[in-house]
Amino acid sequence: MIVVDYKDLQASKKFADSLHETGFAVLKNFPIDMALIQECYTIWHDFFAQDLVTKDAYAFSSKTHDGYVSPTLSETAKGNTVKDLKEFYHYYMNGRCPESLRPVTNQLFDEMLACATILLSWVEKHCPDNVQQGFSMPLSEMIAESTRTLLRLIHYPPLHGEEEIGAIRAAAHADINLLTLLPAASEPGLQLLTKSGAWVDVPFSSDYLIINIGDMLQECSGGYYQSTQHRVINPEGMDRGKARMSMPLFLHPGDDVRLSERYLAEEYRQQRFRELGLAD
pTM of the complete model: 0.95
* CB 172 within 8 Å of CB 160: no
Express each pLDDT in 75-95 by its tens digit.
888 878 899 999 999 999 989
Express each pLDDT in 54-68 by its tens digit.
999 999 998 888 999
Contacts of 77 (CB under 8 A, 6+ apart): 84, 170, 171, 172, 173, 276
Burial grade of 83 (CB within 10 A; 0-12, 13-18, 19 or more) = middle
Cα separation of 41 and 243, whole Å?
Answer: 12
* CB 150 within 8 Å of CB 249: yes
- Give the three-class secondary structure for 96: coil
Which of 232, 219, 223, 230 is closest to 271 using CA atoms? 219
Cα separation of 103 and 130, whole Å?
Answer: 42
Instruction: Report the share of the chain in percent with pLDDT over 90.
Output: 88
Q: Is the pLDDT of residue 279 over 80?
A: no
Which of 141, 38, 173, 154 is closest to 91 using CA atoms? 154
Highest mean pLDDT among 68-82, 115-129, 264-278: 115-129
DSSP 8-state code for residue 91: E
Residue 217 is inside which H or E element, if any?
A: helix 215-220
Express each pLDDT in 180-238 by its tens digit.
999 999 999 999 999 999 999 999 999 999 999 999 999 999 999 999 999 999 999 99
CATH number for the domain harbouring residue 84? 2.60.120.330
CB atoms within 10 A of CB 52: 12
Strands (E), 179-278: 179-183, 190-193, 199-201, 209-213, 230-232, 244-246, 249-250
pLDDT tier, 278 (very low <50, low <70, confident <90, very high otherwise): low
Average pLDDT, the chain: 95
- Give the three-class secondary structure for 244: strand
Express each pLDDT in 12-64 by its tens digit.
999 999 999 999 999 999 999 999 999 999 999 999 999 999 999 999 998 88
pLDDT tier, 280 (very low <50, low <70, confident <90, very high otherwise): low
Amino acid at 212: N
Query: Which domain, by its residues, includes 17?
Result: 3-276
Total number of domains in the chain: 1
